[in-house]
Amino acid sequence: MSLPPLFLQRMAAWLGPEFPAFLEALQAPHPTGLRVNSLKISPEAFPARSPFPLQPVPWCPEGFIVPEATARPGIHPYHEAGLYYLQDPAAMLAAPLLAPQPGEWVLDLCAAPGGKTTHLAARMQNQGVLVANEIHPRRVRVLAENLDRCGVTHAMVLNETPDRLAARWEGLFDRVLVDAPCSGEGMFGREEAAARDWSEEAVRGCARRQSAILEAAARLVRPGGDLLYATCTFAPEENEGVIGRFLRAHPDFDLMDVPDAVGDSGHPEWVGETDVRLRRAVRLWPHRGPGRGHFYALLRRAGDERPYRPRPRTRLPGRTRALYDEFVRQTFQAPPSDEGLLVVGRHLYRAVLPPEMWEGLRVFRPGWMLGQVEGTAFVPSRALATGIRPEAAREVCRLELHDPALAAFLRGETIPGPDTSGWVLVTVEEFPLGWARATRRGLRSSPHPLRPPSEFFARR
């Protein structure tokens, strides 16, 4: 790939004798990164059943590298069941640094496609409030689909600007992640467009946008809360430069030391910054470890103030309530929690925030989507299936990896099943994939197949 000469000149000046190794690593193929989804299986248990060899990522207990170039983890049924998320190893440091705890309120301000969001959700153990925001409408759907696949049940998805969120939710969140849009220099080896569109002016433009996003993000953090700034670029204007200006404008924030820090420190001297705190930032380089490279700065706001946070109430029309209750009675061993049940259009959600808190905002999903009313019946969603344990359902059809019925189910075909009626939870081994309706001919899978026939089965 042809890289911009000025980019190469800048990097050579900064890296000195490390530059040849950096350039080789930047352009070389990178092995696939795989992060185990601990909402489904523990990172200790997964390697024993992994279909491909794994190597650990040093800064992320859930993270692994798939060293075999011929491995295709993205087409395996385990991926469809949400056991793992394919993610660059450098991106796996965000959740360990921000360290969200179960029960906290956490915001991912630039969330699509959902790699870091699903990692935050797993660290929170589906407890608390997770708000995933994405400003680009086309990317919001992909974000929601990844949350569904990974079994995230405590998140709402928005399509808003940071400024509008800051105006409504100032000082509300314990932790905020800004995975800022950037010039993407770390992606040059994979995305030709990123290298083609690069210029110093583009870098400066990114830095201006990043500073504006960070300003809004700072308003959303409660006193005593944490703000993590991340990019996948090497440009110091977008990294140390942005954080240096932020610290000067916000004396109530400090840049935190990172315990057991990995990678390189920040380099304030590259942009003429004199604040030595900028050395507390973390840089991951492609030639020093797994991944394509990232920059992180963990900021903490002074104080310790916990805002009032109302819980959502159940608001169900009588007809929907009756149809849903009947579905629950027939399908579940014990009734699930109905806190925050809310109808929006035809869809039933378990909302994570009261509607008055998000009224007027562009909300793609107010919470866990449970299903919808169709005619005189309640039809469950795939998100409901992937968000529960198999033991919660009365009827389960367990399919093994090499069972032809598994491929048929993924294609949306009718498969053999138990002699029963109503909805049946379909799993690959013990991991839910979706629902099927019992008929006289067998189990009729969801009207929305998960994906086309997979190469995984074609290769068998």
Residues with active-site annotation:
232
Q: Is residue 443 a contact partner of residue 426, using CB atoms and an 8 Å limit?
A: yes
Residue 298 φ/ψ region, left for φ over 0, alpha for ψ in the -120 to 50 degree band, beta for the rest: beta
Distance separating alpha carbons of residues 362 and 169, to the nearest angstrom: 14
Question: 26 and 189 in contact (C-beta within 8 Å)?
Answer: yes
The two structure tokens encoding residue 13 = 């000046």
- Report CA Rg, the chain: 23
Handedness of CA 255, 258, 263, 264 (dihedral sign): positive
Handedness of CA 298, 205, 11, 110 (dihedral sign): positive
Backbone angles phi, psi at 84, to 5 degrees: -155, 165
Residue of 39, 176, 178 whose CA lies nearest to 106: 176
CA distance 243 to 228: 11
- Our CA dihedral for 140, 144, 147, 150, rounded to 10 degrees, sits at -120
CB 237 within 8 A of CB 204: yes
- The set of residues, in sequence order, having a beta carbon less than 8 Å from that of 233 and lying 6+ positions away, is 182, 183, 184, 185, 186, 203, 206, 239, 293, 295
For residues 175, 178, 179, 182, the Cα torsion angle rounded to the nearest 10 degrees is -170
Angstrom distances, CA of residue 292 to CA of 27, 32, 288, 334: 10, 11, 10, 46
CB atoms within 10 A of CB 182: 25
Q: Where are the alpha helices (DSSP H) in 93-198?
A: 94-98, 115-124, 137-149, 162-168, 192-196
Burial 19-43 (b: 16+ CB within 10 A, else e): eeebbebbeeebbbbbbbbbbbbeb
